[in-house]
Amino acid sequence: MTAKTNQQALDRLADVLIEDILSTPADQLLVEVAEDYGNPRALAATCDKIVLRARSSNDRLVTKASPIPASELLGGFSLEKRPYFAGRLRGLWQSVIPLIFDVIFPNRLAMITISSACVASLGFVIAAPTVFNWIQARNSGIPTGTEVFDGAPAGPQPRAPVQEREVANERGVTRGLYPDAPPPSPAVPRVLDLPSAAGHAGMRSDAAATGTDGSKSGSSVAPPIAAQRSASVSTPAADNYVVQVSLERRKADAEAFIRNLQVKLPKELGDHKATVRRADLGPNGVYYRALVGPFGSAGDADRFCSSLKAAGGQCTVQKE
Amino acid sequence: MSDLAATTPGTPPLIEAVLLSRTEVERTILSLSDGEKTALVKIARVYARKRNTPYDHEDLVYEAFTRIIDERRKWPRGEPAIKFIGGVIVSIAWEWRNSVEVNEETEVGDKGAEEQSTIARIDAKIIVDIFEDDTVAQRLVVAMIEGARGEELLNLSGLTSTEYESKRRKIRRRLERLGAI
């Protein structure tokens, strides 16, 4: 038997079976389904799902191809047609929204342009306050938190104590600002060479060990800036001498030097405050001074510097 | 069709007098009883199983409803739902089968054909052999395969009308349970 002959035989058999299905009472068919599936509605439920899929698929196609006219939607409403009213409303919704978008965004280029402008405007609104503050601070000369004051003239200065980054020198409590900064540039010599077995490099490694997160630095709490400010402002005439112990290219190096000084020579430092100041040396570039002070007189500063030198260090006395 | 679609102002379109409108089609489909739905799925299963197509009976039913709803298949007014939808299912099954018509020269017994052809698995001879234990049923199945219909089958069986219908139903149920067709 060829395939075609076999197929024809099966077709004829199928026709008779279809006849039988069509002539079988509905309740009998449901009984058969219950026997086969345990649920008389098993095949009917399958059919329901298929009809649902077919209708929703067709709704999408019809809505896309030909929106329902408003007159047909609203004019023909009656109690008899109520079951279909929700479907028509859905169709209206699906047709009106795309129409609105077609009007607002006639082409994709316009849509992309408008969207980009909206995003850019939003970004500007968010960033503007920060940028304006930064520009204002730059123009007025007030440090913005990451700066330290440079070698400014003596006397009360509005910019110096407000947001300076000081390293506290009280009972070994230090405040490191840039613990993860890279090592210093070897090209710039230090003013003060401390007597350490490990030398300066050793001091730096110690500094790393006792950095802002180390045990020796403790909680890294500096005296309140406002208190420092009031102190420095209240005695402007007396505190006008400082001792420079190091001059560094990088602020982090100057801070690290001070931390090492506090560790290596706590006795010599005593209660004197150590600070880092930015020094703009013009064509020579910007340096950072590690300073101790201020001292009430040149004599006090000299005495402190002498004690440091006696301990093996170097320093210079400067008038603020 | 264009003549049928021609309308006169103030009177309903002529085409609506002959064919169901889309609203009426949807309403009729939604009002099908569970028995009618079950019959449709059974019809689709019979045709899907014996056709050499990659589609199953659910594909057939879905395609039938889709074509009816989007009015590719016009529903004549007064045509019973089960008859019309069943006819669409059968028509689609034929259409799909013709699109993958097997080679006429291929012998079912060939090894390659057996592996590739659904027809080879649902062999008419195998179906006849299923009813070896029931000579009357086997005789009826052979007659069905050879193309006998209605009265002819009834006469061949030597049964009363009721007995014949009962036997035919048993044949269908047995084939359904075995998934043979």
User: Residue A64: its pLDDT value, please?
Assistant: 56
H-helix or E-strand spanning residue B69? helix B57-69
HSE, side-chain direction, 13 A CA sphere, residue A188? 18
- Residues in chain B with CB shorter than 8 Å from the CB of A50 are 58, 61-62, 65
- Residues in chain A with CB shorter than 8 Å from the CB of B119 are 3, 6-7, 10
- Residue A7 CA to its chain's centroid (Å): 71
Higher-confidence residue of A131 and A70: namely A131
Helix (H, G, I), strand (E, B) or coil at A278: strand
- Residues in chain B with CB shorter than 8 Å from the CB of A11 are 50
Q: Please judge whether B108 and A1 are an interchain contact, meaning their C-beta atoms are less than 8 angstroms apart.
A: yes
Task: Please give the ipTM for the structure prediction.
Answer: 0.79
User: Residue B93: its pLDDT value, please?
Assistant: 85
Tokens of A227: 């208190």
Q: Which amino acid is at A218?
A: G
Tokens of A311: 């301990």
pLDDT of A138 above 60: yes
* Strand order, beta sheet including A316-319: A166-167, A274-280, A286-295, A241-248, A316-319
| Adjacent-strand bridge partners of A248 | A288
User: Residue A102: its pLDDT value, please?
Assistant: 65
pTM score, whole prediction: 0.45
Rounded mean pLDDT of A283-306?
A: 83
In degrees rounded to 5, what are phi and psi of residue B37? Answer: -65, -40
Q: Please judge whether B172 and A21 are an interchain contact, meaning their C-beta atoms are less than 8 angstroms apart.
A: yes
**CA angle centred on A273, ends A268 and A279, rounded to 5°:** 110
User: A269, A292 in Cβ contact below 8 A?
Assistant: yes
How much is the mean pLDDT over chain B? 78
Q: Please judge whether A20 and B172 are an interchain contact, meaning their C-beta atoms are less than 8 angstroms apart.
A: yes
Per-residue pLDDT band for B28 (boundaries 50, 70, 90) equals very high
d(CA A57, CA A47) in angstroms, rounded, equals 15
d(CA A73, CA A65) in angstroms, rounded, equals 16
Give which of B23, B24, B34, B66 to mutate to test A binding, by max A Cβ within 10 Å. Answer: B34
Q: Which contacts (CB < 8 Å, 24+ apart) does range A75-83 have? A: none
Rounded mean pLDDT of A192-205?
A: 40
